[in-house]
Amino acid sequence: MTRVAVVGATGAVGRVMLELLHQRAFPADEIVLFASARSAGTELGGRTVQLLDENADLSGFDIALFSAGAGTSKMWASRFVDQGAVVIDNSSAFRRDPSVPLVVSEVNPHALRHHHGLIANPNCSTMQLMVALAPIHRAVGIERLIVSTYQSVSGTGKAAVQELDAQARADLDGVPMPAPELYPDHIAFNVIGAAGNFAEGDDHTDEERKMMFETRKILEDESIGIAVTCVRVPVRVSHSEAVNLQTREPIGPDRVRELLADAPGIILEHVPSPLRAAGRDEVFVGRIRRDDSHPRALSMWVVSDNLRKGAATNAVQIAELVAADRAGSPVS
Ligand X SMILES: NC(=O)c1ccc[n+]([C@@H]2O[C@H](COP(=O)([O-])OP(=O)(O)OC[C@H]3O[C@@H](n4cnc5c(N)ncnc54)[C@H](OP(=O)(O)O)[C@@H]3O)[C@@H](O)[C@H]2O)c1
Contact set with ligand X (CB under 6 A)? 8-14, 34-36, 38-39, 52, 67-70, 72, 90-91, 124, 154-155, 157-159, 306-307, 310-311
CB-nearer residue toward ligand X: 65 or 251: 65
CB-nearer residue toward ligand X: 158 or 216: 158
- Which distant-in-sequence residues (6+ apart) come within 8 Å of 238 by Cβ? 152, 274, 275, 277, 278, 303, 304, 305, 306
Number of residues in the chain = 332
- Type of residue found at 214: E
- The answer to whether 88 and 66 have CB atoms below 8 angstroms apart is yes
Closest residue to ligand X, based on beta-carbon distance: 11
For the CA atoms of the chain, what is the radius of gyration?
Answer: 20
List, as one string, the DSSP characters of 190-242: --BS--S-BPTT-SSBHHHHHHHHHHHHHHT-TT-EEEEEEEE-S-SS-EEEE
Catalytic residue among 116, 186, 239, 270: 239
Query: Exposed e or buried b for every residue in 135-152, given b needs 16+ CB within 10 A?
Result: bbbeebbbbbbbbebbbb
Would you call 22 a catalytic residue per the annotation? no
Catalytic residue among 115, 124, 137, 230: 124
Q: How many CA atoms lie within 13 A of 54 on its CB side?
A: 0
Would you call 124 a catalytic residue per the annotation? yes
CB-nearer residue toward ligand X: 26 or 76: 76
CB-nearer residue toward ligand X: 25 or 37: 37
- Which distant-in-sequence residues (6+ apart) come within 8 Å of 74 by Cβ? 93
How far from 1 is each of 20, 23, 185, 293, CA to CA, in Å?
Answer: 20, 20, 49, 58
CB-nearer residue toward ligand X: 296 or 308: 308
CB-nearer residue toward ligand X: 230 or 256: 230
- Which distant-in-sequence residues (6+ apart) come within 8 Å of 143 by Cβ? 223, 224, 225, 246, 247, 248, 296
What minimum distance in Å lies between the beta carbon of 247 and ligand X?
28
What minimum distance in Å lies between the beta carbon of 187 and ligand X?
15
Q: How many CA atoms lie within 13 A of 280 on its CB side?
A: 18
Q: How many CA atoms lie within 13 A of 313 on its CB side?
A: 21
Closest CA to 9 of 75, 90, 78: 90
CB-nearer residue toward ligand X: 124 or 235: 124
What minimum distance in Å lies between the beta carbon of 232 and ligand X?
12
What minimum distance in Å lies between the beta carbon of 163 and ligand X?
12
The residues annotated as belonging to the active site are 124, 239
